[in-house]
Amino acid sequence: MDAKHRVPDTGVGKPPAPNRSVATGSLGVRARQGLCARHLQRRRASEYVTCAGVGRGCLVRASWLPAVFRQARRPRRCWQCGELGWRLRVSSGVPSKCCDSGFGKATAKKLDVLGFTVLATVLDLNSPGALELRACCSPRLKLLQMDLTKPADISRVLEFTKAHTASTGLWGLVNNAGQNILVADAELSPVSTFRSCMEVNFFGTLEMTKGLLPLLRHSSGRIVTVSSPAGDMPFPCLAAYGTSKAAVALLMDTFSCELLPWGVKVSVIQPACFKTEAVKDMDQWEERKRQLLANLPRELLQAYGEDYIEHLNGQFLHCLSQALPDLSPVVDAITDALLAAQPRRRYYPGHGLGLMYFIHYYLPEGLRRRFLQSFFISPYVPRALRPGQPGLTSARDVAQDPGPKPGPSPTAQ
């Protein structure tokens, strides 16, 4: 690593200098020689928010109030903590998909290659993804079963982590929890859908982060959380998912301010739509649509119409079919947030996000709304709003013919 990228080790939370051991309390680490330079060389343009149509070299920092266009950036100092000391928790105990699939699995593989001891949580220890991790990764990677909706699972994993990091310390936590049960108008979505998304995306992340904060404060480590642009923008038909992601992003911003005196750095990843296993599983979306139609109250079904819901679901599946197949931009962003001397507060991996955020923050409200509606809103209007159709069913009619009672709300499998 050349001199201009070297980081001195003169304080708590500073990266260790290469080629020598450092002890901070009970934490010991040896930096791996040469990884900083290699890590800097592999920086990709996708780590920026590229403003489409303006030019390849023109970059946008969309999270700032004024649009900042940059042609180049100053190289940031980067370091790699080594094989022998630090441990990393990749936490994504999602009821549907976790470290045995998607971003979690790819990140666990990458961190294992870099020499970390990785504690990865999976929903099923015998799932294909978990078996793949066990087969292709080194013995440093340890798989733990966890369901974020079960407090007993979370407590067990926290105790295991504390016991196995007592001598080495815990450097980072990666919160990869994400669940989207249903795509529908907020009025059509059962309240239980909102509760389920909050339980996994927000409360599960909160409980894991709070449980590991003593270890992370001691090491002045990192917290990396995968959120979503749906938490920044009011995407129609993603109300339950978007509100939970908005809550977790604000929580991480609060942690970032509160943990600054401790030297803990907090980053949020806001990826575009990538083709993870959950996105590719079209059958689950069809099944959830069928459950929604079967359990929808008669009044709402008459007002919106089954064809409206069918067309909305088809348009959503079409958007998913165009998801980005290469997960490496997200994995690179997570790795950078863990290893960079000065990680960003926000990462936006994936094409097209720059234009999306530019439109949302800087164009008039009418254009912003039409842009967001173009994603999932069906060109069909609800049945009650179509010309020649009767208005909404009155409460009196519903009382006379209540129809089938709504059954249990759809839940993630």
52-56, 140-144, 276-280, 319-323, range with greatest mean pLDDT:
140-144
Judged by average pLDDT, the poorest of 21-25, 36-40, 257-261, 354-358 is 21-25
Mean pLDDT for 300-315 is 88
- Kind of pairing, strands 117-122 and 142-145? parallel
The answer to whether 271 touches 106, Cβ cutoff 8 Å, is no
Where in the sequence numbering do the catalytic residues fall? 241
pLDDT of residue 168: 87
DSSP structure class, residue 405:
P
* Bridge partners of residue 91, in order along the sequence: 175
162 assigned to some structural domain = yes
Q: What is the pLDDT of residues 37-46, one digit of tens each?
A: 344 334 333 3
Mean pLDDT for 234-247 is 92
241: Cβ–Cβ under 8 A, 6 or more apart, which residues?
Answer: 179, 180, 181, 197, 201, 228, 230
pLDDT of residue 316: 82
Output the DSSP codes for 53-82: TT-TT-EE-TTSSS--EES--PPPPB----
As a whole number, the mean pLDDT across the chain is 73
Question: Looking at the 3D structure of the chain, how many domains does it have?
Answer: 1
In the block, residue with structure tokens 């590719």 = 280
282 assigned to some structural domain = no
The CA distance from 114 to 168, in Å, is 17
pLDDT of residue 90: 53
- Give me the percent of the chain exceeding a pLDDT of 90: 35
Q: Which of 264, 265, 224 is nearest to 110 (CA)?
A: 224
Overall size of the chain counted in residues: 413
383 assigned to some structural domain = no
Q: Which two tokens stand for residue 4?
A: 């201009």
pLDDT of residue 351: 85
The CA distance from 51 to 62, in Å, is 9
Read off the pLDDT band of 385 (50, 70, 90).
confident
Amino acid symbol at 39: H
pLDDT of residue 393: 42
44 assigned to some structural domain = yes
The CA distance from 94 to 236, in Å, is 24
Residue range of the domain that includes 181: 3-48+80-274+330-352
DSSP run (H or E) holding 170: strand 170-175
Q: Is 37 helix (H, G, I), strand (E, B) or coil?
A: helix
280 assigned to some structural domain = no
203 assigned to some structural domain = yes
Q: What is the pLDDT of residues 185-203, one digit of tens each?
A: 999 999 999 999 999 999 9
pLDDT beyond 60 at 395:
no
55 assigned to some structural domain = no
pLDDT of residue 203: 94
Mean pLDDT for 77-99 is 39
> pTM for the whole thing?
0.71
CATH number at residue 223: 3.40.50.720
Higher-pLDDT residue of 74, 248: 248
- Kind of pairing, strands 27-30 and 21-24? antiparallel
Q: Which of 270, 275, 268 is nearest to 360 (CA)?
A: 270
Read off the pLDDT band of 87 (50, 70, 90).
low
Judged by average pLDDT, the poorest of 20-34, 318-332, 398-412 is 20-34
Higher-pLDDT residue of 215, 372: 215
pLDDT of residue 88: 59
The total of other beta-carbon atoms located within 10 Å of residue 221's CB is 28
